[in-house]
């Protein structure tokens, strides 16, 4: 019986960790993180950045001279509430 309780506690702990990680607010998000949050493909979010449909910045990413897009928490919230910026 105590083994069953321990297994259930481990399962509950795992689920709580997942829930906390989903609710953690970050200052900046990568394209992959935004795509996952919005349920879109990374390519789609990258194109929105490239076309100026969302406010995004570029940062050094350690892959040579290439830079990656990052999106602020405020912009992610705006995007979720108001949608894409006009072209």
- Render 16-82 in DSSP notation, one character per residue: HHHHHHHH---SEEEHHHHHHHHT--HHHHHHHHHHTSS--EEEE-SSTT-EEEEEEHHHHHHHHHH
What's the chain's average pLDDT? 90
Q: Are 75 and 38 in contact (CB under 8 A)?
A: no
Q: Are 68 and 61 in contact (CB under 8 A)?
A: yes
**What structural domains and CATH numbers belong to the chain?**
26-82 (1.10.1660)
> Looking at residue 22, what is its pLDDT?
67
Q: Average pLDDT for residues 10-26, to the nearest whole number? A: 82
Reading the block at residue 41, the tokens are: 């493909």
Say which residue, 40 or 26, is predicted with more confidence.
40
> Looking at residue 61, what is its pLDDT?
77
How does pLDDT run across 31-65, given as a tens digit for each residue? Answer: 999 999 899 999 999 999 999 999 999 988 777 78
């Amino acid at each position: 019986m105590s083994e069953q309780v321990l297994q259930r506690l481990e399962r509950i702990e795992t689920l709580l960790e997942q829930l906390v990680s989903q609710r953690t607010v970050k200052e900046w998000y990568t394209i992959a993180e935004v795509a996952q949050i919005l349920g879109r493909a990374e390519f789609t979010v990258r194109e929105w950045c490239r076309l100026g449909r969302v406010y995004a910045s570029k940062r050094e990413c350690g892959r040579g001279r290439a830079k990656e897009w990052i999106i602020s928490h405020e912009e992610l919230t705006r995007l979720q509430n108001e949608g894409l910026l006009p072209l």
